[in-house]
Structure 1
């Protein structure tokens, strides 16, 4: 029984290594086997549907800095919305992270441009009825 307990781990580790060797051999490529050849496609600049260009970014961010390099204003165009973020002036000696030193400013939306231009719908005028014909006035009523 003692011999069996010494042999069993050796046999198991040998089988384990053989299984890895089979996986390694299955992944290696034969040197005589060349990769498949690819056909070159004809390029046509006349076809505009196949033109490849850089897509227009949805978001555009413009930063304005002062002479010291600190960001003073950031203009953001996200889709149809435009807004501006302005930096807070550092006043006093309050360290950042405290209540006095960490006052954020809200974004300023550009007036009448939030959401883009609205399409105006033409309002149809209801049909106008012609005026009613004048009723004939009797001759006896006209003389009074």
Structure 2
């Protein structure tokens, strides 16, 4: 599982010009799921998301989590995080999980995050052509990978 986590002042997702999810202060999380990912990977990553201390405290230091600020989360499924570009110029996405595995895990991640932050997680639409609008705050952008837990 790979994720790009962005601290945002606001973010929204729209499909066919209709907003499917929007947040104010919080996290925009782009998540890619691969075949080897497990429920344990999902839980590990979700715990990391909600506990990352990347929001400023009263001294301007990154000491607060999305939980601490009672922030929101917009979760977007993005299989392109598994792009392989080693050969040629056209990316291969062979490592990305097939929809029958990825979609249920994406939905489980949203439900689990909702439980952790005690608020509804906003979402995109799995497999749709989504347009993401965001105001990255900082900017603060973190990349995580469950296959490399020792570095996160």
TM-score range, shorter chain: under 0.3
Structure index of larger Rg: 1
TM-score with structure 1 length normalisation?
0.18
Which has the higher relative contact order, 1 or 2, with Cα contacts under 8 A spaced 6 or more apart?
A: 2
Flag the structure with higher strand content. 2
Flag the structure with higher helix content. 2
